Amino acid sequence: MISGSGGYKHCTESFLFSFRNLSDMGPTKLPLKVNKGKYGIYCNSGYGPTFGEGYDLYISSEANVNSDSNCRSLSSAYECPPHVTPSIFLTGSENFVVNELEVFVYLG
């Protein structure tokens, strides 16, 4: 089980997934880059779900009422599709207010 604090957790099977994005690419999987498994997930009890080195995707606490969440480092640890601007690929801007989010954990 992943604890609420303690920094990065090694996770080679981690990926991000977008059902919709502003690039109109349709459902898109963003796999973790080779040799970036140590940055798969970042744990901090004061943060929402956070993924990747330098925080590829950071969801702030109370993300539905502030625009502190961001994806400005997207593509540091997760692979973006070619020919897109990583920092705006998922939401259209680096910072955003969360409307809907799902996080799944497989404990196999």
Report the percent of the chain where pLDDT is more than 90: 67
In whole numbers, what is the pLDDT of the chain averaged over residues? 89
Predicted confidence (pLDDT) per residue in 36-56, tens digit: 999 999 999 889 999 999 899
Tokens encoding 12: 């080679």
- Cα separation, 81 vs 60, whole angstroms: 25
pLDDT on residue 63: 95
pLDDT on residue 5: 58
- Cα separation, 41 vs 15, whole angstroms: 10
Give the mean model confidence (pLDDT) for residues 89-107.
Answer: 88
Predicted confidence (pLDDT) per residue in 51-78, tens digit: 999 899 999 999 999 999 999 999 999 9
| 2-16 b/e (C-beta count within 10 Å ≥ 16 → b) | eeeeeebeebeebeb
Distances (CA, A) of 74 to 3, 30, 78, 95: 23, 10, 7, 12
